[in-house]
Structure 1
Amino acid sequence: MGNAGVKPLNETKSINGSRVVLIDDDWKNQTKNCESFEVYKYVDFKGGGSLVDSYIEGENEKTQAIISQSQITKNLLGEQGCGIFTKLSQFTPTQLLCNDKSRDTDPERCDGDYDTVDGDDEKLLVCWDTNKRGAVGETPLHICFLINQDVHRAIAKCLLQAYPAMAHDIYIKPEYYGESCVHIAIVNDDEELLKILIDECHASIHQRARGSFFMPESQRKRIKDSLPLELDTLEYEGYAYYGEYPLAFAACFERKDMYDYLLDKGAQVNAQDTFGNTILHLLIIHNKLDMISYVMKHTSVPNRSIKNKAGLTPLTLATQLGYNDSFEKLLELESQIAWKYGDIQCCVYPLKHLDSIGPDGRTNLESALALAVAGESDGHLEMVNSGVIYRLLDEKWKAYAKKNFVASFIAACFYLAFMSTAIYTRSSYDLLSPRQPSDYVRYVFEILTLISAIMYLGLQSKAIHSNGMSVYLRSLYHVPTHASFVLSCICFLLCIPGRFIPGGRSYEDIVVVFGVLFAWIGLLFYCRGISFLGPFVEMISRMLSGDIARFIIIYVIFILAMTQAYFFMYKACGSKVFDSEFGTMMALFKMTIGHFPWAETVIVLERSISPSQLLQYQKSYCCNMSSDDNDSESSMPPRGLMVIKRVDVKGISAKWKSRSRAALEQRKIWNGLYNIRN
């Protein structure tokens, strides 16, 4: 298998946000050490080979002669190259990988199972000897189909005319296992050769291309690691994941004429591949809108209710992947027109796979509505805010959701009121020994809080009984604020043993703290139902689960690292702040929020520095002062700390005004005395 119909093998591709280079080791083997494989002497990937050279020389008869010579027939099985029937089970890739000398293979990795190979006893017609094939198990006919030039197409016709059984040969190595010339002809859009293969050579139209090259990228990695396939995967991005069957290849490449032709020849329109995907599933994966319409309007209509290994129908798969265009296309094709009035029509959409309420009344989390609400892509947002899903949500809100939401909100408000009153009237002495009237009030509201919690948990147990524990837990996972309210009720019920166990006051206080915290966080669940608060609640929850969660992880790592460093650094200094691991951790936490005990830290650090060094440090921040005769304790000149500060202008102004008044008064007195003397 080469690069026919797929991206170049050296092309870069984005996977999970990073750029990687797509390289196939088996493809490299086809172009390396070609001399060691006799099959490349006839046709190679460089455009050469004995068959090509003879045909280019214009000697078609010579080409036919070479094909009929013993050098070709010696590679064929059966009488006159008619082939022999062989069990597919003998082509297990485990054996081939261990016996393949062209690859460096770890023997330990050959012990694993390989799910992409037929493990049954189905028989396959083999014409070209499996021990005389190319690096990836190909024959000259496969190479001619891959190169797909006029010369190679002509050589392929000669080979098929001489040995029709070669049309049944498939790739037998793990990378491209199961691929036949029928698949390659469909990829090349060569209807002429396709009809020759099927009509004249009777090639199988049910052959499955199940090598790792045809698997999603996530499964290719598991195959290389000898791990079993994840059949319920939803990651279908890969090299050439086209559904294994020739009919699926024709649909994915939008070969409508070939699609009709294969159906006429008996291809199964509802055939499922390794992952349980049908043609409709594959068209959804590749987002082929025109082909979806063509397939759904065909005389052989595929079954829309078939689920893949992930439990998804084509409609729910489109919802899961967030492909709004494919989702709306399938909905329109499944709908029934009730009436028309000009360009206005009334359509009825089936609720079987659309509504979250299943036929038995249980919640169906695999429905299109549930998947669209749980999705996070732009396509999911578009589904919820417009179209059929928006109308369905609006009808459900009017029917029962609004009424139940308001009733639940009122009950939650009463619960919070009971809880808050019980907390605010909580005393510091023995809670079982009432001393004041407020203690009796507390008893009443504690009982009301417990009754409310029991009633709420009773409703939750009813939901668990109706839909099952797994469905209930998934609903709590998608709405953490609702889960917080449930945890609050559980916490208050867990307080009961602490009230009666001797010494259980500390236990009760801790559980009450968590219960109060969870209760008020649970109130955010009801804020989501308010139009001007809901988006902000969602934004905060995304921040908490995303950026802030990652920040907290890194923050805790740094705090733990610095805790040990500070604890051992101050251990010999006798610091009260860093005297224990927990105290050190709390002190570091205060540092990060701005409450840094730097004054005590400075004093503690002085104890680890010699007096001479301290005097040198003191010189850097002090200046000399005039000597004080009264200070005779030290021979060193006095030093002081220079501080530049703003003078109190208001005080100076007041003093100036008072002195001015005194001067004026004194002047008036002198003027009076002068007048008396005169």
Structure 2
Amino acid sequence: LFLDYRIWESPLLQAAKENNLPAIRKLLTDRTCDIYQRGAVGETALHVAALYDNVEAAVTLMEAVPELVNERMTSELYEGQTALHIAAMNQNITLVKALLKRGANACTAQATGHFFRHSSQNLLYFGQHVLSFAACVGNEEIVQLLIENGADIRAQDYLGNTVLHILVLQPNKTFACHMYSLILSYDRNKEGPGSLELIANNEGLTPFKLAGVEGNTVMFQYLMQKRKHNLWSFGPLTTVLYDLTEIDSWAEDQSFLELIVSTKKREARQILDLTPVKELVSLKWNMYGRHYFCFLALFYVLYMVCFTMCCVYRPLKPRTGNKTNSRDNTIYVQKMLQESYVTYEDELRLVGELITVIGAVVILILEV
């Protein structure tokens, strides 16, 4: 409402909103009219025309004032947003073509305002670049236009996320998978070490690992299907080979399996039941985990036996003093330190006590 009120205050912004071409042309020739005036959130007349899908008004403004094409909004909420961002978001292909034809920057323009940040308070997260905006709304034609006009598919936002990372985070997972494949088809190094899929964000997560952390099972299965190779088939039997890069890479600092287990997203646990992760976890358990678990279990049982025996045979002696209270039924009392370690049995108990203390320290360190 505040935005509409401020637009109503400005004749040029109001004309752009209503697609009133005669009024726009008249105001552009009026010397008293500031053609660069801005509204409540730092928008120009071209931003308003793009917001309301008024292509004719936008073209008239661009032809009269070419500098408006790459003007960015200036408010903290929408800072950096250009008319091309808005046109891509509204899937207005005609306006996108008109903007690109007149020099709109599809490569470096970034929307950095608070509205475009990734947080629980924002309803959407489309990144900062125009390409990620178009990819997230699912318009293939606009995506192709932007890439053909210089949009960088490797561009990263303030979190280090590429357009592939951002697609992983979208709620509409089916179209995100389709758009993921489209973007990847433009990657010239998709088979090499410089592949777009191997670019990590600021947290060290590739799009594949991010899908695991977020519990995006649809995207995970889609990516695994791309890595699957059928070796041979014999009737109902099929031998399948999976590329386990990023899944079973022991040399990496962040293990995929560890990320899934440690993430706070409950949906991520479902990935442990999917092929080939399920088979890999089972294999690792049978080869390594089972023996490690049995060893620790045996160690803990022996430790508890030692602790129990030390408690049972703790140094006590019969009570010799007079009872002053009829309700006092104490029979044994603790020996003095000098009396506690005299016999051979006491020395054996001392060894057990040392084992108990050292074991407690080791368990504490392992737990922390």
TM-score under structure 2 normalisation? 0.81
> Would you say 1:161 and 2:63 are equivalent positions?
yes
Aligned to 2:29: 69
**What are the superposed Cα offsets for residues 530-580 of structure 1, whole Å, 9 maximum, x if unpaired?**
xxxxxxxxxxxxxxxxxxxxxxxxxxxxxxxxxxxxxxxxxxxxxxxxxxx
Identity of aligned residues (%): 23
Q: Distance in 2 between matches of 1:408 and 1:217?
A: 42
Kept after mapping to 1: 8 A contact 2:310/2:352: no
Kept after mapping to 1: 8 A contact 2:6/2:40: no
Aligned to 2:138: 254
Kept after mapping to 2: 8 A contact 1:215/1:239: no
Aligned to 2:118: 216
Q: Distance in 1 between matches of 2:12 and 2:25?
A: 17
Aligned to 2:208: 315
Task: Select the structure that is richer in helix.
Answer: 1
Q: Distance in 2 between matches of 1:321 and 1:289?
A: 15
Aligned-pair distance for 1:357?
A: 2.9
Aligned to 1:446: 350
Kept after mapping to 2: 8 A contact 1:216/1:238: yes
Aligned to 2:92: 190
Q: How does 1:46-61 map to 2 (within 5 A)?
A: 47=18, 52=20, 55=21
Kept after mapping to 1: 8 A contact 2:50/2:58: yes
What code does the residue aligned with 2:348 have? V
Aligned to 1:433: 339
Aligned-pair distance for 1:337?
A: 1.9
Aligned to 1:146: 51
Aligned to 2:242: 348
What code does the residue aligned with 2:89 have? V
Aligned to 2:322: none
Unaligned runs of 5+ in 1: 1-27, 56-61, 77-127, 219-236, 461-481, 488-678
Q: How does 1:512-591 map to 2 (within 5 A)?
A: none
What code does the residue aligned with 2:296 have? S
Kept after mapping to 2: 8 A contact 1:247/1:267: yes
Q: Distance in 2 between matches of 1:280 and 1:371?
A: 19
What code does the residue aligned with 2:335 have? Y
Aligned CA distance change for structure 1 residues 192 and 35 (closer, same or farther; 3 Å): closer
Aligned to 1:395: 283
Kept after mapping to 1: 8 A contact 2:78/2:116: yes
Q: Distance in 2 between matches of 1:217 and 1:455?
A: 44
Q: Distance in 2 between matches of 1:435 and 1:198?
A: 90
What code does the residue aligned with 2:42 have? G
Aligned to 1:386: 274
**What are the superposed Cα offsets for residues 615-671 of structure 1, whole Å, 9 maximum, x if unpaired?**
xxxxxxxxxxxxxxxxxxxxxxxxxxxxxxxxxxxxxxxxxxxxxxxxxxxxxxxxx
More relative contact order, 1 or 2 (CA 8 Å, 6+ apart): 2
Q: Distance in 1 between matches of 2:150 and 2:218?
A: 31
**What are the superposed Cα offsets for residues 484-528 of structure 1, whole Å, 9 maximum, x if unpaired?**
9869xxxxxxxxxxxxxxxxxxxxxxxxxxxxxxxxxxxxxxxxx
Aligned CA distance change for structure 1 residues 370 and 75 (closer, same or farther; 3 Å): same
Aligned-pair distance for 1:275?
A: 1.2
Aligned to 1:358: 251
Kept after mapping to 1: 8 A contact 2:16/2:48: yes
Kept after mapping to 2: 8 A contact 1:418/1:446: no
Aligned-pair distance for 1:429?
A: 1.0
**SS of aligned partner of 1:174:** coil
**What are the superposed Cα offsets for residues 343-376 of structure 1, whole Å, 9 maximum, x if unpaired?**
724222234x3237335xxxx4x32211212245
What code does the residue aligned with 2:313 have? T
Aligned to 1:510: none
TM-score under structure 1 normalisation? 0.46
2:222 to 318, 322, 329: 329
Aligned-pair distance for 1:340?
A: 3.0
Aligned to 1:644: none
Q: Distance in 2 between matches of 1:177 and 1:318?
A: 29
Aligned-pair distance for 1:66?
A: 1.8
Aligned CA distance change for structure 1 residues 445 and 339 (closer, same or farther; 3 Å): farther
Q: How does 1:121-132 map to 2 (within 5 A)?
A: 128=36, 132=37
Q: Distance in 1 between matches of 2:309 and 2:251?
A: 43
What code does the residue aligned with 1:75 have? D
Aligned CA distance change for structure 1 residues 442 and 298 (closer, same or farther; 3 Å): farther
Aligned CA distance change for structure 1 residues 196 and 345 (closer, same or farther; 3 Å): farther
1:290 to 156, 178, 195: 178
What code does the residue aligned with 1:372 have? I
Aligned CA distance change for structure 1 residues 369 and 252 (closer, same or farther; 3 Å): same
Larger Rg: 1
**SS of aligned partner of 1:175:** coil
Q: Distance in 2 between matches of 1:257 and 1:400?
A: 51
> Would you say 1:404 and 2:282 are equivalent positions?
no
Q: What's the Cα RMSD here?
A: 2.9
**SS of aligned partner of 1:387:** coil
**SS of aligned partner of 1:134:** coil
Aligned to 1:374: 262
**SS of aligned partner of 2:304:** helix
What code does the residue aligned with 1:142 have? H
Aligned to 1:85: none
Aligned to 1:172: 74
Q: Distance in 2 between matches of 1:379 and 1:202?
A: 44
Aligned CA distance change for structure 1 residues 145 and 485 (closer, same or farther; 3 Å): closer
Aligned CA distance change for structure 1 residues 298 and 193 (closer, same or farther; 3 Å): same
**What are the superposed Cα offsets for residues 246-279 of structure 1, whole Å, 9 maximum, x if unpaired?**
1111111111122122112221111110111111
Aligned to 1:40: 13
**SS of aligned partner of 1:43:** helix
Q: Distance in 1 between matches of 2:7 and 2:65?
A: 24
Q: Distance in 1 between matches of 2:289 and 2:243?
A: 21
Kept after mapping to 2: 8 A contact 1:175/1:213: yes
